[in-house]
Structure 1
Amino acid sequence: MSEEKVAEEIQEDAADVEAADNGQAVAESVEDVTEQVLPTLEEQLAAAEAEAADFKDRWMRSQAEFANARKRMEKQRLDTYTNATASVIEKLLPVVDDFERAMESLPEDIREHSWLEGIQLVQRKLSATLENFNVTAIEAIGEPFDPNLHEAITQEPTDEFESGAVCRVLQTGYKIGDRVIRPSLVVVAA
């Protein structure tokens, strides 16, 4: 072999060794970049779990908001129904008052007429209708004066009731459940 051929072979072997070193260096460089850029499986799992927890939290919040909105709408619907009922009942109360006054002031000679039974039946039906709507009269006589339930017209001295108690009712008050439709007009003991 000639010297030139040996030199060529050495150069080729050196080039092969250098290429192998460069290949290994490139592979190591690719691994370093891959480790830096691509997260590990544990990191990917942790990120997915965090994202799932965030989605679950958002879903639970939206469910709670929806339930609260439904409750608000139901309460608003019930309030609207109660307001409408109270408005209609308030317009019927003067009729109830008229029936009460008429029955209280009947002359004795009329009390035995048969047509009076028909009028009393109408009054009872009206009272039953009010009861069906949960309308009750406000009890006042002997009770302590309550500005939420009573409207005082005057005071009068009396020995029958203690001071500050309702001694007479001039107009009956009514309420639906706990809501006052009309306060009782009362006279308070002095």
Structure 2
Amino acid sequence: MTVGKKTEQSAADQVAENPAEGLQPEAEPLVENSDLEQQLTQALEEKQRLHEQYLRTLADMDNLRKRTAREKEETAKFANEGILRDILPVIDNLERALEHSDKAEDSGGLFEGVRMTLTQFNQVLSRFGVETIESVGKPFDPAYHQAMGQLESADHPVNTVMVEMQKGYQLNERLLRPAFVLVAKSPEQKLSAADDDNKTT
């Protein structure tokens, strides 16, 4: 037997005598229970954080979907706003023509045609959601009225619209054009000469 064969045979004999010793790798130290509990706690906290983040993301997406639908509806509602605003002066002129026809003695068929045209315009505007703002006799509201001046009146409450110079309009409850109005103010009391003398002394 050669030296190499003897070494192999003695190693084989040792494994045969003690088989468990040759097969076991070096033992690693066992992880303590407290380390495992800490890792489990961290993993559960991370899971909870990710779940909450997921729920927030779902809520954000739902809000975005609702906001987009609302904006789309608003855009469709008010898409014609510019065109409708440009039509309002045409209606104003038709109304002025009708006012003059009432004053004229010969108000023939022309003015009747204007009246019919104005009625048709108002019907079309109504279909698009345009409504006139009722102003005369109502309290002045800066959200709907633009004051062009004040008139003294003992018959009207202060800050009440007395005269509508130009109609105001709303488009789907949004202001399209304010009404140009004259507003009532209390009449100034004239001081008598005796009152003037009393104030100067």
Same fold (TM over 0.5): yes
The match for 2:106 is 109
Q: What's 2:8 paired with? A: none
Show structure 1 runs of 4+ deviating over 3 A: 34-37, 42-55, 78-84, 115-119
> Gaps (5+ residues) in structure 2?
1-17, 186-201
Q: Does 1:126 align with 2:109?
A: no
Distance 1:189 1:97 in 2: 24
Give structure 1 stretches of 5+ with no counterpart.
1-18
Shift, 1:118, TM fit: 3.9
* Aligned-partner Cα distance in 2 for 1:116–1:60: 67
RMSD value, Cα: 3.5
Q: Where does residue 176 of structure 2 map in the other structure?
A: 181
User: What is residue 32 of structure 2 aligned with on the other side?
Assistant: 36
Counterpart amino acid of residue 145 in structure 2: H
Report sequence identity in percent. Answer: 29
Q: More helix per residue: 1 or 2?
A: 1
TM-score scaled to structure 2, two decimals? 0.66
Please show how residues 41-60 of structure 1 align to structure 2 within 5 Å.
50-60=45-55
- Distance across 1 between alignment mates of 2:105 and 2:54: 75
1:33: how far off? 2.2
Q: Which of 79, 83, 87 does residue 84 from structure 1 map onto?
A: 79
Shift of 1:62: 1.5
Count of equivalent residues: 165
Q: Which amino acid aligns with 1:145?
A: F
Task: Name the residue aligned to 2:162.
Answer: 167
Structure 1 residue 58 displacement after superposition: 2.5
TM-score by length of 1: 0.69
CA distance, structure 2, for counterparts of residue 117 and residue 62 of structure 1: 63
How far apart in 1 are the matches of 2:111 and 2:125?
21
Aligned-partner Cα distance in 2 for 1:167–1:116: 28
Alpha-carbon distance between aligned partners in 1 of 2:75 and 2:93, rounded to the nearest angstrom: 28
1:105 match: secondary structure:
helix
